[in-house]
Amino acid sequence: MISELPVPPWLFLIGGALILPVLPKLLRSPAFLLTSLLSMAFVWFIPEGARFEVPFASYTLILCQMDQLSRVFGTIFALIAFAGGVYGFRVQSTGEQVAALLYAASALGVTFAGDYVTLFFFWELMAVSSTYLVWARRTVESQRAGIRYLLVHLFGGSLLLAGILLHTVKTGTILISAFEPDASASAWLILGGVALNAAIPPLHAWLVDAYPRATVAGAVFLSAFTTKAAVYVLVRIFPGWDILIAFGVLMALYGVVYAVLANDIREILAYHIISQVGYMVAGVGIGTEMSLNGTTAHAFSHILYKALLFMGAGVVLHTTGRSKLTELGGLARAMPAVLALYMVGAFSISGFPLFNGFISKGMVVSAAAEAHFEIAVLLLHLASVGTFLHTGLKLPYFTWFAEESTALPTKTPPSMLVGMSIVAFFCALFGIAPSLLYRHLPFNASFEPYTIPHLVETTQLLVFTFMSFWVFRRHLRGEFTISLDTDWLYRKPARVVNRSVVLSAGAFFDAAERIAETVVKQLTIILGNPWPRTRGIFQHEWGANVPAAFEPNAARPPMEKVIALVLACFLLAALLSVAR
């Protein structure tokens, strides 16, 4: 059954991924952009309440359903797919483009899914397609990181599937609806699978392990889709779960603390994904209309400025071949446009007025204050200080300023600058005119970002952070160190587990195979042709006339005797019948 919707928006992206490899090389990048634009147009013009349904066994799959929440997430996913395609116009391989389209399609599929079967299908497609964007860099580190990334996400998908099956058995429905905070084990299993994709500590190490090792353009898509698709599911299914407030605040602080230790510029940005998603998770946990609007707005803003930041870091890596703070510096003269565009993203993530981070992060913090979570407000402000300190000051200072390094950048591809400019434009647009975003948020809660208290509070935090950085800047440069994170829990025992489980099991099966081969050989000898073993006996009795090999025809009785015996039997039977 189809209602008011000819095709789902994600179908354009999947179709583009299928036809892209057979197109001439010159048409592949334009086709990538065209499919992204078509999906964005469908997202924007689909009427409210439209659905696309198909029968499946005894259920009905809702492949697409449109409401305000899904429209906001669908719009930004399609927009960043287009901007990422522009950015990677000249640097992406065909395999990367296909994987990026499937990745974007899966994010849209999760966003518009109305049932758990559809959600799970696109959830797993998202994991598989995004893995290729890590592998496509074709280094030893990226290959290993991609394997770890895939295994972790398959584990998360298993949790999600287990929860879905339990929920379906218990309720008899596959339709997606919000869980109560005191829900059953199925809800907790689903939350575990979603929390892993949202990179909630301690289930977060896959992000900072894989994202810095992805391709230049692939990291842009990675920064946009997986964690924010998980945030969407949290808003849809788990609003008002108090435990998410604690986890969200923990994320916000955890990311900025570990960013202090990071030396790779894309690793710094990866840790700040965790920190910024923490604001969104906390907003879901608060569960009020304003906090859920704030989560939605901040996810929208975060996708824009985080993509812009990864684009800037990607240009540095692409043109210099380096990404460590200890290997960079003095690049401002060589790439002033990249620096300027990067700083738009840096100001946005730091919450500067007139940039989109200011109008979304402030909504989450204000919602926490309105709900009387004073400690959460204080800690989220503290996380904001760390964000500006590292992303807005430390990273650009030691990359583009400070002492000059030996890195000599090549020319920046124009497509990269165009892609960055598109995203930077929207970062500034929504910061200057927040109503363009606010009017499309899912709830009616109102928020005014440009108030005197909010402006004064933000200015104080920014000025204090800048002064602190300038005083201690010599102590903040990265070092050639490896930071231990929760991935230690599966990296450290890896060799022991490999020896005790994998190698031991392999040795056991090898031994079993050798024993089986020996037994089969002995049985073959015992049950095989007896002639070679008995030939010596016949030679002793018959002399040298015994053949060297067994000849079945020589040992077989003549057929005429058998035929004569059969005929005799028939003749006897005939005589007996006549005698009667």
In a domain, 524, yes or no: no
Global confidence as pTM: 0.85
- Residue 302: the pLDDT is 97
**pLDDT at residue 448 in the model:** 93
Helix boundaries (H) for 88-184: 94-112, 116-135, 140-171
Domain annotation covers residue 116: yes
Burial of 210 (0-12, 13-18, 19+ CB in 10 A): buried
Displacement of CA 77 from its chain's centroid (Å): 14
Domain hosting 158: range is 2-491
Cis-peptide into 202, omega within 30 deg: yes
* Rounded Cα–Cα distance for residues 38 and 12 (Å): 7
Burial of 37 (0-12, 13-18, 19+ CB in 10 A): middle
380 occurs within a structural domain? yes
- Nearest partner of 323 among 476, 411, 213, 403, judged by Cα: 213
Report if residue 366 sits inside a domain: yes
**Residue 138: Cβ within 10 Å count:** 9
- Residue 576 resides in a domain: no
Query: pLDDT by residue for the chain (580 residues), tens digit each?
Result: 445 667 889 999 999 999 999 999 999 999 999 999 999 999 988 888 888 888 888 888 999 999 999 999 999 999 999 999 999 998 889 999 999 999 999 999 999 999 999 999 999 999 999 999 999 999 999 999 999 999 999 999 999 999 999 999 999 999 999 998 877 899 999 999 999 999 999 999 999 999 999 999 999 999 999 999 999 999 999 999 999 999 999 999 999 999 888 899 999 999 999 999 999 999 999 999 999 999 999 999 999 999 999 999 999 999 999 999 988 988 999 999 999 999 999 999 999 999 999 999 999 999 999 999 999 999 999 999 999 998 999 999 999 988 777 777 889 999 999 999 999 999 999 999 999 999 999 998 889 999 999 999 999 999 999 998 888 887 777 666 666 777 767 667 767 766 777 677 778 888 888 898 888 888 777 766 565 555 555 555 555 555 555 555 555 556 667 777 778 887 888 777 766 6
The answer to whether residues 447 and 363 touch, using CB atoms and an 8 Å cutoff, is: yes
pLDDT at 239: 96
How many angstroms separate the CA atoms of 222 and 104, rounded?
A: 10
Domain count, the chain: 1
Contact 359, 431 (CB under 8 A): yes
Residue with tokens 């575990």: 192
C-alpha distances in Å from residue 389, one per residue of 187, 255, 262, 352: 38, 12, 13, 13
In a domain, 55, yes or no: yes
C-beta separation of 160 from 190 below 8 A:
yes
Q: In whole angstroms, how large is the CA radius of gyration of the chain?
A: 33
Is residue 431 a contact partner of residue 354, using CB atoms and an 8 Å limit? yes
Residue 344 belongs to a domain: yes
521 lies in some domain = no
* Inter-CA distances, 73 with 76, 200, 229, 308, Å: 5, 20, 8, 18
Q: What angle do CA 71, 76, 78 make, to 5 degrees?
A: 90
